[in-house]
A and B are shown apart, each in its own frame.
Chain A
């Protein structure tokens, strides 16, 4: 036995420290939660994940891979998405929401610039899946299935893939070059594409069902529906979809001097702005007011900037034609009464308020429908395809998604549906019945400790001046400055995920927060943690939470 120094009864080096952890009634835990941006995104993009990569490492390469885990079309969505994620951003209660849409576009453009390739998750399977329609829903479904190793073939009725993204969205919003290259990158996963193949017309549906293990219908809403006023058969009257399709195909359309667009949705805005670029004076006629317009707010703003006239409370009654060619539109004034089933005010005509708006072209952007030619599926209201919670239609092994199911929705909603349908198809083929894990709870502003965040200006994208915009179909928003985007990403609160602020590490009075061995995160030394909750209170992003000790 070692002899101790004089006066010592115990060798201090052998004393076991007093484990104060036994006092604890509450225990801190690192809990990753869903940020509101991901929650409000129809595709559930890992927005926090890619923004943190930009902020911490300026790693656009990895950010692109994080983003394309869910969204195969980031450069497209970065341009056309109405970004519900920004509406969800917790920063809106602090200063301004993050410019997520801009960051997405910058990352998507980086991917195109560097020719980044998608990665396959599972090498190859023998099951074959057919995807009908190559719009956002179809492309997304094909992309996610191909990543999972399925042999996928896309059937497209038109001459080129892209669906409404190609034929509906004008190139000043989404340049064709961007769309082409993103679609090429998706097809390079080994997806076959057959154009000019209309299932139900060129290829019978029964044959498809026999040959493929599953089928996804991403039909979209390709048919323009006029509202049925007298005189619609006159020359110079188009539906919104037909008009946009003609212009986007590169046909020259003579719109004349005065154009009247009927409707308040996105197709109406696009038609009006395209007509304006073709050199006409454009007037949008809508029977309610701006508040009720279903179009994306930014689209309406930009249309107004481009000096497009808006006539609210106005409804067409009759198209006036001279020698079979349209010359004007007879309209009636409306007043708004109590809301209807859609929650929007119900317009009622005011008797005796009719008036004529002169027009060389009338564009009826008043509704769209699915082209069911040769396809027999169960429908809701005889309009949209009815699906169950697995997105399967009334026909076994036929799934559906996108506008044909949702009604008129956004590109990102269609991509989200395509993604979920791909998951459902995988489950169906594998015979999996257990539901997938639901995401963790969403974090809201009240959970955050915003003391540690600093107010900062939001990234503003610069639009071209209006007179240059109207000269042609070049993109309105030129490429973004990458350093400004990185700076914007630094504003991200990182709701619900540690970003290494080290507050817990510095504030623990018991020294019970240790650096994890990986060196990037922190963990709790439960031998000594007394459960005071200081770390959880001072955690800015609510990643640390107190739970009851068992």
Chain B
């Protein structure tokens, strides 16, 4: 099915298609992820971006940072817009072209969920990329359905009480050919997944963990380290689902307790205050353990 050589897939790309001068915070995981994605996808790509941080910081008139065609849509309809672009290319008998729809976790899991589901179900040849920073960072750190258990946001000041929605598995259950998760620390793996996805015909879903220094309460230099810990604790499993089968699971080399991951971030600080009930940390550890068992990390 995939015809490119593994050498091509694993080559690290840097083409400056997402240029300097964007207004993201220092150490922004999403800006890093967007740059890696744009460079991996190459020049022959149309980027559709939903409202959110990425759109705000990368596309102010008159100096957008994208060096590829860029289409801004509303919070809820980036998948519908990307579907339209794909249909237009088909109707005009043009192409082939890589169409990438991108959104934050809010526009993916909450507001835009119906349009994603529709796009998957109709089978458009679009790669949907979700930059998961686990809250509505653009509007001021409100809780989304990707906010993990225990995390503090402005709408959950005592810590979130619900679990994170598992969208990769929901997407896979639509029967689409390719679903993957990635983090920004392993850029080689991330770029390989983008390139692999673009070789497959049909709807694809890529879920990227992109730390937000402002919303997560850590300094900008820790972005990569936090991603690494998210993998090492088992809280963020990295895998691919090809035609419904989980493969290429990134195994944990050296397992770490979730405390190491939580303590780096201001949004979990209340869990470690004097007198705080330890059961919340235990519940988060339980989630990590379940992930490890489920995906055989």
Binding site for B on A (CB under 8 A): 9-10, 12, 15-20, 23-24, 451, 502, 505-512, 525, 527-528, 530-534, 536-538, 546
Contacts and interface: CB of A to CB of B under 8 A. Distances in A.
Contact of A12 (B21, B27, B32, B62): B62
B297 interface: no
Nearest to A507: B224
Contacts, number: 91
Interface in B194-239: 213, 219-225, 228
Contacts of B20: 17, 20, 510-512, 525, 527-528
B21 A509 contact: no
Contact of B16 (A16, A511, A538): A511
Interface string B8-42: 00001010101111111111110110011000000
Interface string B48-78: 0000000000000111000000000000000
A195 to B, nearest CB: 62
A509 B35 contact: yes
7 contacts: A12-B62, A18-B63, A510-B24, A510-B26, A512-B20, A532-B28, A532-B223
Contacts of A12: 62-63
Contact of B187 (A10, A507, A527, A536): A507
B191 to A, nearest CB: 9
A74 B213 CA distance: 51
Given A17-B63, A509-B27, A451 B21 contact: no
Given A507-B187, A527-B20, A532-B26, 10 more contacts: A10-B61, A10-B62, A17-B19, A17-B21, A18-B21, A506-B187, A510-B24, A533-B26, A533-B219, A537-B224
Contacts of A533: 26-27, 219-221
Interface string B93-137: 000000000000000000000000000000000000000000000
A532 B221 contact: yes
Nearest to A14: B62
Contacts of A17: 19-21, 63
Interface of B: 12, 14, 16, 18-29, 31-32, 35-36, 61-63, 187, 213, 219-225, 228
Contacts of A528: 20-21
Contact of A505 (B14, B62, B221): B14
Given A525-B20, A528-B21, A532-B26, A451 B187 contact: no
Contact of A511 (B19, B25, B222): B19
Interface centre among B14, B27, B28, B223 (most CB of A within 10 A): B27
A20 B23 contact: yes
B32 A509 contact: yes
Contacts of A23: 26
A23 B21 CA distance: 11
B223 to A, nearest CB: 6
Contact of B224 (A512, A530, A538): A538
A20 B31 contact: no
A452 B19 CA distance: 27
B61 to A, nearest CB: 8
A304 B222 CA distance: 51
Interface centre among B19, B21, B32, B187 (most CB of A within 10 A): B21
A174 B18 CA distance: 61
Contact of A509 (B19, B28, B222, B225): B28
A507 B21 contact: no
A188 to B, nearest CB: 48
A123 to B, nearest CB: 47
A537 B23 contact: no
A544 to B, nearest CB: 11
A17 B19 CA distance: 9
Nearest to A10: B62
Contacts of B35: 509, 511
A534 B220 contact: yes
Contacts of A506: 12, 14, 36, 187
Contacts of B224: 507, 534, 537-538
Q: Which 10 residue pairs of A and B lie closest in terms of their CB atoms, listed nearest first?
A: A532-B220, A532-B26, A533-B221, A532-B27, A528-B20, A17-B21, A530-B26, A509-B32, A537-B221, A509-B31
A510 B187 CA distance: 15
